[in-house]
Amino acid sequence: MRRIVGLSIAILFLGYGLVRIGVGGALMAQSLGMIDFTELADAISEVRLFIDARADEQIFPFSVLAYFAYIMTMGTVLATGAIGAIALRRWGHALLGIYLAMHAALFINFQEINPKLIGLVVTAVMLILLIYLRPSRSL
């Protein structure tokens, strides 16, 4: 049972990483004019408003494209880390920790506390559970 729960957590991380890659890529493609979907245009407008409203507060200024690239990078780190955790590799857990740091860095950079912080806390708890339930066997 312990292994099944751990594997389920790793698979959830993999799925979420793939979603981040897909959404980030779609939003980036829309921003670059490669595709045109109304729903994506609305999401891009919201992100632009968020970034513009915090332009003077950001530690590291993000453009909209840079933000989407960062989201894709986070997804890549998360998905790769999940694959490593599924394979019981130590680097998988390390990459999942890097993902958490990248996610936390967004809150710090934008100096913003919002409901997405709950997701960060849940992800941290899931990573701790994963390390306990599915310890790595090698580098």
pLDDT, tens digit, 9 for 90 and up, residues 73-122: 999 999 999 999 999 999 999 999 999 999 999 999 998 888 889 999 99
Q: Which residue has the tokens 């959830």?
A: 12
The residues spanned by each domain of the chain are: 2-133
d(CA 86, CA 19): 18
d(CA 33, CA 45): 14
CB 13 within 8 A of CB 126: yes
CB 79 within 8 A of CB 21: yes
pTM: 0.93
Both structure tokens of 64: 């909209």
H/E stretch holding 122 reads: helix 116-133
